[in-house]
Amino acid sequence: MAATLQKAPLPGRRAPRLAEAWPHKHKHKHKHKHEHGHDARRARRVIRRATDYRGFAPALDLALATFGWGWHIEAGLAALRLVLRGTFDRHPDLQIVLGHWGEMLLFALDRIDGLSSAAPHLDRRVADYFATNIHIATSGMLTPRLLRHALAYTSVDRILLSGDHPFRRFDAATLTDFLRTLPDPGDRRKIAHANAESLYGLEPLPAGTAARTTTGLQEDA
């Protein structure tokens, strides 16, 4: 069985075996047939993930599997599976936050919405859940064109300014320059802090007072 579950090894690398990917399952030889099938499917997923990001220098393997690509694809897929499982139909008040401008999902949302025709069990179209249950965080990627793209697919009320500690840090001037790409001061306040206050139940800045936020913008709270 192990041989049928191996992927072809990448140059200079040995493909992981089933016993390595799922070692504790090989301690028991007498398993129910259904359990064997379930274990085999899980083992294939482990092996695929172990090899998809390998084949380069160790540092590049790690970067590809994490901040360069893997983190975002895996997080986006997990969120999409929540939608397709009908999680938000069963729990309509549930809210989640996706970092890095939506972990690739916003950029393919037109295409992803095509899944709606294959998911008749959902109450709404796939893209609709991004307007009611999913928030988008910047995660240190302060690029105006990403902001413009996000606003084309979701509302300003669902975008959160966020850092990416410990990977990236920004000074007040950088944050201010980013927020000033929004012409409306009210939209700046929402993204800078008001959206997070509402979502997380944080105490808002005192009403009617002038406050200097962490963005360095002077504003009326």
Residue type, 177: D
How would you class 18 by CB atoms within 10 Å of its CB: exposed for 0-12, middle for 13-18, buried for 19 or more? buried
* Number of residues that this document lists for the chain: 221
Nearest to 36 by CA among 45, 46, 26: 26
- Provide the residue type at 89 as one letter: D
Q: Is 164 a catalytic residue?
A: yes
Distances (CA, A) of 33 to 4, 5, 37, 39, 175: 17, 17, 6, 10, 57
| Alpha-carbon gap, residue 84 to 152, rounded angstroms | 23
- Cβ atoms of 195 and 160 closer than 8 Å: yes
Among 52, 61, 157, 164, the one annotated catalytic:
164
Catalytic residues: 164
